[in-house]
Chain A
Amino acid sequence: MAQIAHDDSNAVVIIGSGAGGGTLAHELTRRGIQVVLLEAGARQSMASFSQNPGEAFGQLTWLDPRTTSGNWSVREDYPGLPSWTAKTVGGTTVHWTGATPRISPWEVRSRTTYGAVDGTSLIDWPIEYSELLHYYELAEKRMFVTRRHGLPGLPASNHFKVMYNGAKRIGYKRVHTGHLAVNTSPMDDRGMCIQQGFCVQGCKTGAKWSTLYTEIPRAEATGNLDLRVQCHATRIEHGPDGRANAVIYRDAQGNEHRQKARLVCVACNSVETARLLLLSESAQFPHGLANSTDQVGRHYCRHTAGFIWGLFDKPIHMWRGTTLSGIIEDETKHDPKRGFAGGYHLELAALDLPSLPLAGIPHTVWGRDLGFFMEHYDRMAGMLINGEDMPRSTNRVTLNRDVKDRNGLPVAHIHIDEHSNDTAMRAHAQRQGRAVYEAVGAIKTMVSRQTPATHNMGTARMSKDPRDGVCNAHGRAHDVPNLYISDGSTLSTPGSANPTLTIVALALRQAEHISKELKAQNI
């Protein structure tokens, strides 16, 4: 592993080691570029992942304080955890479920497709779908995605059999075990899926792709990576020329360091990416770095999420098997006749016993309703709504200057007022999901409210016009020529696909661009 000096101004500094940052670090280092990779979390391994759900949550989750406001139910149910992101080497690729659907062609042209929707800030992506598709294919091959490029699908679990038969009985056609970056046989120096569940606690066989045991060790093997763990970036500095030139961070002991940089890439997951840019305010950039058009933190999206449960009188054992290996794609379309713009996926989703009452049902459910629900744990099936939510300029991440983290810095504040399109879509999805389970004999169905988002998008979005977003189609900040955004913050609109595949695809594209620009001495 490289050891790059703090005053080495030739280094590329990447902040965050998840899907975007981890992939980018590998792609740059294998091209001979020296990279300092700052990661706020600690480094776990397949061996150290806890199999106790509560403990695993503590091991992997970003638990620094955040606050929230707005009309969304998360404000009431999870005021201290409005977003569920990771703080560990590998970022959210350690706790993700491996789901890798693509964004659809019409979803990258949502403003054109949906027309003007009142109270939204929809824009078209500044990328042609044909170009995105090229990088999707590269990303899928890299991550060994099931049901793509000749790879088989995962086998059907008990849990999926329930979803499949119900979906088919109500007329759905596009139902299968999903596109997942989960090995069905040993490949890529990783193990195979043994249907153990526990995907979100960290995959102990490595069947599920994560930068923790693919991109990062491979970047280390190039000799060009200096990975610094438990190093929390607090500020990006710039010179009088307006170019980023250093990153300030605190190490595990709380000591402050300053790493000089030729180029800075921010990949801290949408909420913290926006916060870091806002914290980097200066005389020249009084509203935060890359924020001259007041776009940083705005248009925050998190998908129209929610669980749907079916209770049955026959055994299912939903915890046995890959957590998310099942999908219904029929509602992934733009069909205004349904009463809303955009579409949604219905995705199989199991929860372990301890997490079910905490995340799976409304907090207003207790007493005999709760007892009845929980006593059906072995005869229960679940799915998750994953739909496109509407970007709004007032749904945003800001700094809460009244609440400070352990470094004395203002925490991120998330404000969400749900658009009526989001609530109409969720209601439709809940009706359809209940119908799926009722078609195969559910004795009762129940839906959750929203859970803290694991999909966080849009807070530093790509836009053709600098007045609409923070960066261009390569993730390069409109305001700062050597500052790049390299995570889900850049998604111009969220689409209805789980975002990791798109983040990896864009990171591959960005890496090509950055290395070309560095070689040409343009940066």
Chain B
Amino acid sequence: MDNSRREFLAVSGVLTGLLVAGGPLALLAPSRAWSIELRTLSSSEGATLQSMTRTIAPHDRLDNAAYALVVKAIDESLQADQHLADVIQSGLGKLGSNFATSPEEVRVNMLKNIEATEFFQTVRAKTLATLYASPLAYAFFGYEGEAFSKGGYLGRGFNDLKWLPEVPLEDSGPVPN
């Protein structure tokens, strides 16, 4: 293996965690322990970034693993983009290594102060684009996703709402058999 290849595979940091026992993610995963290798960010930068993504999109019962996937996606996008790597690493440096252990109120205020920066906006956009697109998020939010492969929702709950009156036929249409 030549040096550039070895360099490409070099691990710069690691994020690890343990899935909450009995949670929806633990049921999907082969093992409760997870570990994600970073290629550009250090472990400490990864931890700060993970905390930042949770502050932007807080879901208390959503496992850290879902947020680690966002960190992984951001870390991957830095490999081929030096400008972005500079933006993210300098932004994380300014937040400091105490960010992740600060109370939420403090974290929110710190982020509010940098809301207009490219650093914040990039992380916000990437968090929103990644966090809710994973199978882990689908399971957590109860989203059933595509249904074509199952014959649609026609016989599977598209009209099962019972807490409001039904719509008269003249304003809707017959349900196909």
In Å, the complex CA distance between A52 and B125 comes to 19
Which one, A228-236, A366-374, A513-521, is touching chain B? A366-374
Given contacts A194-B154, A198-B146, contact A353 B137 (CB under 8 A): yes
Chain B hits for A153, CB < 8 A = 171-173
Q: Is B156 an interface residue (CB 8 A)?
A: yes
Q: Is B128 an interface residue (CB 8 A)?
A: yes
Structural contact, B157 and A317, CB atoms closer than 8 A? yes
In Å, the complex CA distance between A314 and B160 comes to 12
Given contacts A176-B172, A375-B141, contact A320 B56 (CB under 8 A): no
In Å, the complex CA distance between A364 and B56 comes to 11
In Å, the complex CA distance between A378 and B125 comes to 23
Instruction: From B57, B115, B159, give the contact of A158 (CB < 8 A).
Output: B159
Structural contact, A156 and B167, CB atoms closer than 8 A? yes
Interface of B is mostly: loop
Interface positions, chain B 142-177, Cβ under 8 Å from A, are 142-149, 151-154, 156-161, 163-167, 170-176
Q: Is A363 an interface residue (CB 8 A)?
A: yes
Q: Most chain-A Cβ atoms within 10 A of its Cβ — which of B58, B111, B165?
A: B58
In Å, the complex CA distance between A192 and B145 comes to 20
Q: Is A459 an interface residue (CB 8 A)?
A: no
For chain B, which range describes its interface: under 10, 10 to 19, 20 to 34, or 35 or more residues?
Answer: 35 or more
Given contacts A51-B146, A321-B153, A353-B132, contact A195 B164 (CB under 8 A): no
In Å, the complex CA distance between A185 and B171 comes to 18
Given contacts A197-B153, A374-B141, contact A366 B56 (CB under 8 A): yes
Interface positions, chain A 145-172, Cβ under 8 Å from B, are 146-147, 152-158, 160-162, 164-165
Q: Min CB distance, A498 to chain B, in Å?
A: 19
Structural contact, A357 and B142, CB atoms closer than 8 A? no
Chain A hits for B146, CB < 8 A = 51-52, 196-198
In Å, the complex CA distance between A164 and B163 comes to 13
Interface positions, chain A 339-389, Cβ under 8 Å from B, are 352-354, 356-358, 363-364, 366-368, 370-371, 374-375, 377-378
Structural contact, B124 and A366, CB atoms closer than 8 A? yes
Chain B hits for A300, CB < 8 A = none
Given contacts A194-B152, A195-B154, A367-B55, contact A161 B166 (CB under 8 A): yes
Q: Is B59 an interface residue (CB 8 A)?
A: yes
Q: Is A316 an interface residue (CB 8 A)?
A: yes
Chain B hits for A378, CB < 8 A = 141-143
Instruction: From B125, B148, B160, B167, give the contact of A160 (CB < 8 A).
Output: B167
Structural contact, B137 and A367, CB atoms closer than 8 A? no
Q: Residues 273-289 of chain A: 1 if any B CB is under 8 Å from the residue's CB, otherwise 0?
A: 00000000000000000
Instruction: From A184, A314, A321, A354, give the contact of B176 (CB < 8 A).
Output: A184
Q: Is B129 an interface residue (CB 8 A)?
A: yes
Structural contact, B171 and A354, CB atoms closer than 8 A? no
Interface of A is mostly: loop
Structural contact, A176 and B141, CB atoms closer than 8 A? no
Structural contact, B144 and A319, CB atoms closer than 8 A? yes
Chain A hits for B115, CB < 8 A = 364
Chain B hits for A357, CB < 8 A = 57, 128, 132
In Å, the complex CA distance between A193 and B152 comes to 8
Q: Residues 116-143 of chain B: 1 if any A CB is under 8 Å from the residue's CB, otherwise 0?
A: 0000010011001100110001100111
Q: Min CB distance, B88 to chain A, in Å?
A: 17
Structural contact, B174 and A162, CB atoms closer than 8 A? no
Q: Most chain-B Cβ atoms within 10 A of its Cβ — which of A160, A184, A196?
A: A196
Q: Min CB distance, A159 to chain B, in Å?
A: 8
Instruction: From B58, B145, B171, give the contact of A368 (CB < 8 A).
Output: B58
Structural contact, A374 and B158, CB atoms closer than 8 A? no
Structural contact, B158 and A164, CB atoms closer than 8 A? no
Structural contact, B151 and A194, CB atoms closer than 8 A? yes
Q: Min CB distance, A228 to chain B, in Å?
A: 30
Instruction: From A53, A354, A367, give the contact of B108 (CB < 8 A).
Output: A367
A53 nearest in chain B by CB position = B133
Q: Most chain-B Cβ atoms within 10 A of its Cβ — which of A177, A185, A317, A358?
A: A317
Interface positions, chain A 175-219, Cβ under 8 Å from B, are 175-177, 184-185, 192-198, 204-205
A357 nearest in chain B by CB position = B128
Given contacts A155-B173, A319-B144, A320-B156, contact A162 B57 (CB under 8 A): no
Structural contact, B132 and A374, CB atoms closer than 8 A? yes
Q: Is A54 an interface residue (CB 8 A)?
A: yes
Structural contact, A370 and B57, CB atoms closer than 8 A? yes
Structural contact, A54 and B133, CB atoms closer than 8 A? yes
B143 nearest in chain A by CB position = A353
Interface positions, chain A 425-463, Cβ under 8 Å from B, are 440
Structural contact, A352 and B143, CB atoms closer than 8 A? yes
A-B contact pairs, 21 of them (CB 8 A): A51-B148, A52-B146, A155-B172, A155-B174, A155-B176, A156-B172, A158-B160, A161-B164, A161-B166, A176-B172, A184-B173, A196-B147, A198-B146, A353-B141, A363-B121, A363-B125, A370-B57, A374-B141, A375-B141, A377-B141, A378-B142
New contact pairs (8) apart from A161-B159, A354-B133, A357-B132, CB-CB < 8 Å: A156-B159, A177-B172, A177-B173, A198-B147, A205-B148, A353-B141, A353-B145, A366-B111
Binding site for B on A (CB under 8 A): 51-54, 146-147, 152-158, 160-162, 164-165, 175-177, 184-185, 192-198, 204-205, 314-317, 319-321, 352-354, 356-358, 363-364, 366-368, 370-371, 374-375, 377-378, 440
Binding site for A on B (CB under 8 A): 55-59, 108, 111, 115, 121, 124-125, 128-129, 132-133, 137-138, 141-149, 151-154, 156-161, 163-167, 170-176
